[in-house]
Amino acid sequence: MNKNRITAFLLTLTVAAFSAFCVSAEPEDTPKESETTQTVEFTDEDTDENNSSFPAPRAKSAILYDLNGGRIIYSNNSNEKNYPASVTKIMTAMLALEKGNLTDTITVSESALADITYLHSKLGLKTGEQISLENLLTALMVCSANDAANVIAEYISGDIASFVALMNTRAAELGMTGTNFVNPHGFHDDNHYTTAADIAVLAREAIKNTKFCELAKIKTAKIPATNMSEERMISSTNHLISRYRNTFHYYPYATGLKTGSTDEAGNCLVATAEKNGISLLSVVLGCENENDKELAYSFVDTKAMFEYIFNNYKTVTIATTADIISDSKVYEAKDSTRVALSPSADIIMLLPKDYSEENIKQEIKLEENISAPIEKGVRLGSVVYSFANLTGLEVSQHHIGVDLLAANEVKLDYFLHFIHAVGNILLSPFVLIPLILIAAVLIINAVNRNKRRQQRRRRMKSQHTASYRNGYRTQQTSSARRRTTSRTRTRTSGYSTSRRTTSSANTRRRPSNLPSRTPDPWDKYR
């Protein structure tokens, strides 16, 4: 009985375990939910994980620019010459805003419409029609009207040829070395060309004008009735900012700018976009758009570049004008005051969201001989910040450089200044060299004088020694002679004569130039 119960219990347990295993197990050929293939689309929630590589545009030349940080993010054949088509109108509009008056009324001339054909995009202006410059610019930027470009050119310069010359002059001023304009609208001409890098320079200059930015954002507009035309309704050719012509490419973060298209130039697009503090400018030239949706590469690829940067990068403020990033010792500063250094502009870098501060390098270059007095705001050097390792982008180095300005005033120590001034005068070649020469002459004279003095002393000593020796010999000879004479006289004359002679000899005066006579012990017997 007990054995049967145990056997039944074990059998039940085995069946339950097997059933649980079968329920929890999955067939090997059944895909898991996380492995299911999905189509990736660019959305606000996209991150670097689902968009790991930079989407290089399918264009003959392209450039992507960070407007806040002032840097090139991506570049491909950006200095290669291409036809710009209606992108040319950026220059035309910029010159009109710089030199014209928006409220001026312009009369359309016959010469302005002479080269406009059915192949041109146009507003439909008529000879003798009167229209304001502002409305002409609206038509130029929104519907890319070539006839409006010619009318503007004649208004600004008197004739189209003079305006084209002005366009090329302005391009040269901006450093657009790869550009040559032949007309104000961009209709194809073999000698009418530019580069993506030059167009980026032009666009950055143009968007400094507030009115230009307003015109570049217009989706649709009404051109008021004129003396020869009723009201006209126009819409933007830039599908990124307007749904009027095409809803597929609309991009809510786009802020402009200008399209262009001819058979020779292909599809061109200059676009700007802003999101989360990031402001971008892109230029694509020579795109071969195959349709107006998924294969419209000028719009699709531009949007893809924008999304990649917005989703994977962020703007980082490295330093502001209120920050002190360095200081320096100041020559002749009162109370040894140091000067603090601040950047002349905010330093903003576009960096990957997972960037490391270790990859940000700072290089400071100060002017030589920083000396007092120093006023606040004076330029004293420069600073360059660089960031490397921008994975996935062709341009992997990010450099931002600004001037360094004095953040405080430094006064001059007049006492130190006087001491240094005197020292500088004394150390001046005009003073130092004569002083050295004078010192050298004095030293040489002193040495020669000392030599002469020593020679004279040696000569006098030698003469004195010789005189002493000669005097002593003379004295000895005289003494001997006197002794001999005395003896002779004593023998011949007797004692008195000898004594008188001796007495006379003893009283004889010694020469004054002879040395003192050494006493002779025999004198008492003489």
Residue 41: the pLDDT is 31
Reported as a single tens digit per residue, the pLDDT across 445-489 is 888 888 888 888 888 888 777 776 666 666 666 666 666 666 656
For 200, how many CA atoms within 13 A lie in the half-sphere containing its CB?
25
- What lies within 8 Å, CB to CB, of 88 at 6+ separation is 181, 183, 184, 185, 186, 192, 194, 260
- For 300-424, strand residue ranges (E) read 313-319, 326-328, 339-343, 347-352, 360-366, 379-387, 398-406
Q: Which residues contact 229 (CB under 8 A, 6 or more apart)?
A: 124, 125, 126, 129
User: Which entry of 60, 61, 89, 236 is annotated as an active-site residue?
Assistant: 89
Is 75 in the active site? no
Taking the CA atoms of 28, 32, 38 and 42 in sequence, report the sign of the dihedral they define: negative
Of 121, 144, 236, 498, which is the active-site residue? 144
H or E element that contains 3: helix 2-24
What's the pLDDT score for residue 518? 61
> What gap in Å lies between CA 310 and CA 277, rounded to an integer?
9
Q: Residue 520's pLDDT is what?
A: 61
- How many CB atoms within 10 Å of residue 448? 10
Question: Which pLDDT score is estimated for 36?
Answer: 29
Of 123, 66, 90, give the one whose Cα is nearest residue 215: 90
What pLDDT does 521 receive? Answer: 63
Q: Looking at residue 464, what is its pLDDT?
A: 74
The predicted pLDDT at position 405 comes to 94
Please indicate whether residue 298 is annotated as part of the active site. no
Q: Which of 86, 236, 279, 328 is catalytic?
A: 86
Query: Known catalytic residue: 32?
Result: no
Q: What is the pLDDT of residue 252?
A: 96
Q: Please list the ranges in the chain whose pLDDT falls under 70.
A: 1-52, 389-397, 468-526
The model scores a pTM over 0.75: no
